[in-house]
Amino acid sequence: MNIRQAIKMAVKSILGSKGRSMLTMLGIIIGIASVMTIVSTINGMNEQNLKQMEAMGTNRIDVSAYLYNGQNAFEALYNYCNSLGSDLVLGVTPNSNASATVVYGSKSSTAMQKNQENMWSMDGSQQNQGNVALPPNLYYGSDQYSVCNNFTLAGGRDLSAIDIKNYAQVCILGARAAQNFFNYADPVGQTMQINGLPFTVVGVYAEKDPNSNWSMDNVIVFPYSVSRLIQPGTTMNDFTVKAASAEAAVEATSRISGFLTGLTNNGKSGNGYANSNNQWQNSVNEQATMMSLVLGGIAAISLLVGGIGIMNIMLVTVTERTREIGIRRAIGAERSSIVTQFLIEAAMLCGIGGLIGMALGTVATRVAGKLLVHVDIWPSPAITVGAFLLSVLLGVVFGIYPAAKASKLQPVEALRAE
């Protein structure tokens, strides 16, 4: 018997017992769909997190420095980082939030705060209401803020060292903040009120995070020196350093850590630390991989159960078709042809179940992506092809024992079977 005949017989056997075949495939369908959905969704969430980190800027070093005497450690850090050279460090800036009321014309951050409160339902879940004007995030920055945070200018100019030195009442707007306050008008040269003080808009950053209400573009940046005007007594303890490369980030982190040890007198006059965000990215990747393995392994248990179901139903099939096997053996069929027939039937059962599971897994992945991370997630081709091949392999593996048992039946005993 050739392969074509074996396939025809397998199709006939499967279609002859549609209900039993579907129930047999159910474990494979659920297993394949579960594995695809879990692994694809976790991979999609990981990619989304990495995109957000890249939008914030790669090779960033998060620095914290606090002196017990209340002095600002930034100037010392600024001078040290710039002394390292551009082959190691590209920039350094404070990473401190400002708290202030922003007003332009009839628009104010106070009114936008009410929009933010309305975007949360009574149970605290976020509601998607499109591009709602939310209050901007206010930051104190140096002349190197845009470099450190991966911003590029769309218009106007950036903060300068002279702005810092002269306590200039100027600011830079992110793309979303510019839209919220000025709609489509050019904000450069306009004056905004910050806690009642006039601040001139000198630049606008290009958009880099357009698909989120809680956008990184919804920012307003001031020279850090004007903190004494906006919030007297502000102490800045958190800073961002931009390294030239991933390799430079390792060395720069080590050097800055040593500098902080000296600045704080080995912890006696303050405390400080430096961590590269590359370390966080590696940690996120490792956690996502571990989660995929654990949850994927749990889902794969249903595949094992499905495989056992395939073996069980194939053993039943062997019992039901004992007389057929005896006749074929009596007229000269070789054991290998019997094995081939039953393996093909088992593989087809799992293959069909795998195809159905792939379709359900794709739909479930799309739904999970929309609900969990609000983005479109498609299973990767590797996961899809791997899921199908795994289902066929399961059919072969769990069909070996029934096929071997069928091939070992003696013709005379098989012909006597009822």
* Mean pLDDT for the chain overall: 81
Tokens of 400: 């070996």
Per-residue pLDDT averaged across 295-312, rounded?
Answer: 76
Q: How confident is the model at residue 188 (pLDDT cuts 50, 70, 90)?
A: very high
| Statement: residue 124 has pLDDT above 50 | no
User: How many angstroms separate the CA atoms of 225 and 177, rounded?
Assistant: 22
User: How many angstroms separate the CA atoms of 223 and 90, rounded?
Assistant: 18
Q: How confident is the model at residue 312 (pLDDT cuts 50, 70, 90)?
A: confident
Top pLDDT among 15 and 197 is at 197
User: How many angstroms separate the CA atoms of 29 and 352, rounded?
Assistant: 9
Same domain, 166 and 179: yes
Among 244, 278, 312, give the residue marking a domain's end.
278
Beta strands in 109-266 (DSSP E): 137-141, 153-156, 170-173, 191-194, 197-205, 219-223, 238-243
Q: What percent of the chain has pLDDT over 90?
A: 28
Is-contact 277 62, C-beta < 8 A?
A: yes
**SS3 of 203, please?**
strand
Read off the pTM.
0.60
Same domain, 318 and 199: no
Top pLDDT among 38 and 146 is at 146
CA 199, 200, 205, 206 dihedral sign is positive
| Statement: residue 125 has pLDDT above 50 | no
pLDDT for the residue 30: 84
Classify residue 262 as exposed, middle or buried by CB count within 10 Å of its CB (0-12, 13-18, 19+).
Answer: exposed
pLDDT for the residue 376: 77
Per-residue pLDDT averaged across 387-394, rounded?
Answer: 81
Beta strands in 96-254 (DSSP E): 96-98, 102-104, 107-108, 137-141, 153-156, 170-173, 191-194, 197-205, 219-223, 238-243
Top pLDDT among 191 and 302 is at 191
Among 241, 260, 278, give the residue marking a domain's end.
278
Is-contact 223 159, C-beta < 8 A?
A: yes
Q: Which of 44, 41, 43, 22 lies closest to 33 in space, CA to CA?
A: 41
Domain, as residue range, for 111: 58-278
Same domain, 353 and 214: no
CA 262, 264, 265, 267 dihedral sign is negative
Among 248, 278, 308, give the residue marking a domain's end.
278
Same domain, 177 and 298: no
